[in-house]
Amino acid sequence: MEWTEARVDKLKRLWEDGLSASQIAEHLGDVTRNAVIGKAHRLGLSSRPSPIRRTNHPIVGAPERMCQWPIGNPRDPSFHFCGKPAAPDRPYCDEHCAMAYRRKSDNAA
């Protein structure tokens, strides 16, 4: 795949239109999502916010020591984070730490 001037122009236009790197790769054809991201970076295209709109979620105003376990679909208006007190030196409460972290078994090599 070659980055012709026409393909670069199309990438820039689609990037400005807000399409994801995967969507742009589909439109361009014969290029991967990572190639699109790399080219956008080399072109100095502006970075875009995460698709998870953190400004709409309670975690933004929550103290750092609150559980940050995501609850629900990030695209759903009811999406939120757990918010219970976090375990020491962990981003999650005890309940969610038990789900997120696994101890090595005694038999593991």
37-51 tens-digit pLDDT: 999 999 998 877 655
Q: Are residues 31 and 9 in the same domain?
A: yes
Q: Are residues 39 and 58 in the same domain?
A: no
* Three-state DSSP state, 85: strand
Contacts of 85 (CB under 8 A, 6+ apart): 65, 66, 67, 93
What is the domain range of residue 81? 54-100
Structural domain tally of the chain? 2
User: What's residue 56's pLDDT?
Assistant: 47
pTM score: 0.47
Summarize the confidence of residues 90-96 as an average pLDDT. Answer: 91
Q: Are residues 80 and 59 in the same domain?
A: yes
Round the average pLDDT of the chain to a whole number and report it.
83
Q: Are residues 58 and 81 in the same domain?
A: yes
Cβ pair 87, 94 in contact under 8 A: yes
